[in-house]
């Protein structure tokens, strides 16, 4: 019996690209079905993350025209990671494997074939890894690669140059469901699941249409979210920095004492002013980092739903108002 494959695509204001994305994925899915690699019950599920344009009407129309396409409409915008999780958790009991990808067609859909082959060979998680980013500007490429290096340096175990293009088996999704945190960073959580994993490399393409949903400001916020969600290394760095500053202050105290014993006076006020500003800045930075963690504890303690589904279009699996 062929395995059922679901492709989950989070969408936010993607009206310009969705028709082309649907067209290409339909060809790919039908090809896999004809080769008997996946079941005819396989689906493409598009998750509308509170879009302000015609994204949801387009998804609904695609579903009406062809049952290959399904749709999940969230009650409001919840962010890319929550929208992706909503799709994964909604279909995990309906599929044998699920592939997540973005709607912008920058991730090569031809890599799906190799992902499916590796799944059939026994892999539970297959990561799509970008081999080249030649279509990106230097600034975009530099900031993106710096993002992955920073994440790993701060203790977040991520796959370099891997975004959210991956295949996960049913049992891998069951493992993901056990992670209950509200502050989501799936690129760091998925590697924690374990099981047999592999990678598929592909060349990143230009965005087919529309604008990037991850400008520099959001990328920085995303990095902070990932670091503070997965690692306590920033707090340990503060501890180490505090120890260094303390040791420097001891050395300065000894220096001043020796100068005093030699009858020399401490010249000027510059060193004092610099010390006060340096220590004051360090304290504010430390309070900010600690506050970031306390804020996350506050949000986790509330245990609010990570998403609310308003409508699920999926042939005989019509649902509404589910909370997760």
Mean pLDDT of 166-173: 94
The residue with greater pLDDT, 316 or 183, is 183
Q: What is the pLDDT of residues 87-142, one digit of tens each?
A: 999 999 999 999 999 988 888 899 999 999 999 999 999 999 887 666 666 666 67
Most confidently predicted of 136-150, 158-172, 212-226: 158-172
Question: Which pLDDT score, from 0 to 100, does residue 2 have?
Answer: 81
Question: Which pLDDT score, from 0 to 100, does residue 317 have?
Answer: 44
User: Looking at the predicted structure, is the pLDDT value of residue 62 above 80?
Assistant: yes
- Would you say 309 and 321 are in contact if contact means Cβ atoms under 8 Å apart? yes
Q: Would the pTM of this model clear 0.85, i.e. be above it?
A: no
Question: Which pLDDT score, from 0 to 100, does residue 224 have?
Answer: 67
Q: What is the mean pLDDT of the chain?
A: 80
* Region of poorest pLDDT, from 37-51, 163-177, 279-293: 279-293
Q: What is the pLDDT of residues 220-252, one digit of tens each?
A: 666 666 666 666 677 767 777 777 776 776 676
């Amino acid at each position: 019996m062929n395995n059922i494959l679901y492709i989950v695509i989070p969408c936010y204001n993607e009206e310009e690209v969705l028709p082309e994305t649907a067209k290409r994925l339909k060809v790919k899915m039908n090809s896999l079905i004809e080769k008997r690699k996946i079941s005819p019950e396989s689906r493409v599920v598009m998750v509308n993350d509170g879009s302000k344009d015609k994204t949801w009407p387009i998804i609904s129309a695609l579903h009406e025209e062809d049952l290959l396409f399904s749709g999940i409409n969230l009650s409001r915008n919840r962010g890319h990671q929550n929208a992706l999780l909503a799709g994964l958790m909604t279909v995990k009991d309906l599929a044998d494997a699920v592939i997540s990808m973005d709607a912008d067609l920058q991730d090569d859909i031809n890599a799906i074939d190799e992902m499916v082959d590796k799944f059939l060979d026994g892999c539970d998680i297959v990561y799509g890894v970008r081999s080249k980013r030649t279509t990106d500007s230097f600034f975009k490429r530099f900031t993106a690669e710096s993002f992955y290096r920073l994440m790993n340096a701060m203790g977040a175990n991520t796959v370099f140059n891997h975004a959210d293009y991956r295949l996960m088996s049913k049992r891998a999704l069951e493992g993901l469901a056990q992670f209950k945190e509200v502050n989501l960073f799936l690129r760091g959580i998925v590697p924690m699941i374990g099981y047999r994993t592999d990678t598929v490399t592909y060349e990143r393409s230009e965005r087919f249409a529309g604008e990037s949903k991850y400008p520099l400001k959001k990328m920085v916020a995303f990095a902070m979210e990932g670091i503070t969600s997965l690692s306590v290394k920033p707090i340990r760095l503060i501890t180490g920095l505090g120890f260094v500053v303390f040791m420097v202050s001891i050395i300065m105290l000894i220096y001043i004492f020796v100068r005093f014993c030699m009858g020399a006076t401490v010249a000027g006020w510059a060193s004092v002013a610099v010390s006060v500003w340096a220590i004051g800045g360090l304290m504010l930075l430390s309070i900010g980092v600690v506050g970031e963690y306390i804020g996350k504890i506050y949000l986790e303690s509330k245990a609010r739903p990570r998403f609310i589904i308003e409508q699920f279009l999926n042939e005989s699996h019509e649902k509404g108002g589910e909370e997760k």
